[in-house]
Structure 1
Amino acid sequence: MAEAKAPEAPPPEQDPGAQPGAQVDPFRAYNFKLLIDGVNEGHFTQFDGLHAKVEVIPYREGGGGTVVRKLAGPLRLGEVTLRYGLTRSSDLWTWFQASVSGQPQRKNVSVLMLAMDGVTEVLRWNLLEAWPSEWHGAPLDALGQLVAIESLVITFESFNRG
């Protein structure tokens, strides 16, 4: 008598991006949202400058050799610039004023990349222990028709990608 075999389970579904030849559209740079602890209003138009660099330390073994080794040094984090439309909200200005007084209020800032629907979060960067170190007022032009955009430079101590 032949033994009945259990049906084979279907292969696990794979992310379409993992398939050879599958086209994967990159995220759109305009679909993002910023979350800042304790800041209720902020209509951000641009987020720029996020970068990290591991410094390279040259090291010559034995002192006289011609080969120079390269060691990993300290991590250098760039400062980011937030640009936002000027509104009546004073949340960002108050946050900057704390830095001016010598007592920066450290907050966590999250940058969320959104899917094409503009709602679904697909990627996130978390900037930890962030505080504003520079402010730029909106250029004003009586003959122009542009929105007033201010900018705030944010420094931070570490970041992660989630």
Structure 2
Amino acid sequence: MADDGSAQSVATWPLVKFSFQVKWDDAELIFQEVTGLSSETQVIEYRGGSSKVYSTVKMPGIQKFGNITLKKGIFKGDKALWDKYNAIKMNTIKRSTILISLLDETNAVAMSWSLLNAFPTKITVTDMKADANEVAVESMELAHEGLTITS
């Protein structure tokens, strides 16, 4: 039988994904989109030489984290992302902890993901077309060394 929602609490609803904030070095930056929050554990396959079973044993290995992509509209005179990106010098970038938070209906933090030792790796400016009617958007890709969640 289909669930008609009558058993659901009046105050319990899933969070919406359009209400979020990004804090980078204690400054809040406004973005249109954040993608790439992911973690993956590599699988190690092993078989001992004296094993009587003709298959491998699978064990968890090293974790790896996907790059995060941040997208925002371009505003006249706003160089915040370019300033962060231009701070990169050969292996001398200041690594930061970046906090990405999902907000509830009162704009309070409901859940947060923390990126450890994050730094920019790529910046992309909008494409330009004479017949387009969209907002100009720039994007930045971040690499990081860890993703933790808090609620």
Taking the aligned partners of 1:116 and 1:38, their CA distance within structure 2 comes to 23
Residue number in structure 2 paired with 1:7: none
Residue number in structure 2 paired with 1:73: 61
Taking the aligned partners of 2:13 and 2:25, their CA distance within structure 1 comes to 31
Residue number in structure 2 paired with 1:55: 42
Within the alignment, does 1:90 sit opposite 2:79 as a pair? yes
TM-score, normalisation: structure 2: 0.83
Instruction: State the percentage of identical aligned residues.
Output: 24
Distance 1:104 1:38, change over 3 A: farther
Structure with larger Rg: 1
- CA offset at residue 38 of structure 1? 5.8
Q: Retained in 2: the 8 A contact 1:61–1:67?
A: no
Residue number in structure 1 paired with 2:3: none
Q: Which runs of 5+ in 2 are unaligned?
A: 1-6
- Equivalenced residues, count: 139
Q: Retained in 2: the 8 A contact 1:133–1:154?
A: yes
> Superposition RMSD on alpha carbons, in Å?
1.7
Distance 1:80 1:63, change over 3 A: farther
Residue number in structure 2 paired with 1:105: 94
TM-score, normalisation: structure 1: 0.78
Within the alignment, does 1:120 sit opposite 2:108 as a pair? yes
Higher RCO structure, 1 or 2 (CA under 8 Å, sep 6+)? 2
Residue number in structure 2 paired with 1:154: 142
- Please give the secondary structure, in 1, of the residue aligned with 2:18: coil
- CA offset at residue 151 of structure 1? 0.4
- Please give the secondary structure, in 1, of the residue aligned with 2:15: coil
Within the alignment, does 1:32 sit opposite 2:17 as a pair? no
State the one-letter code of the partner of 2:8.
Answer: A
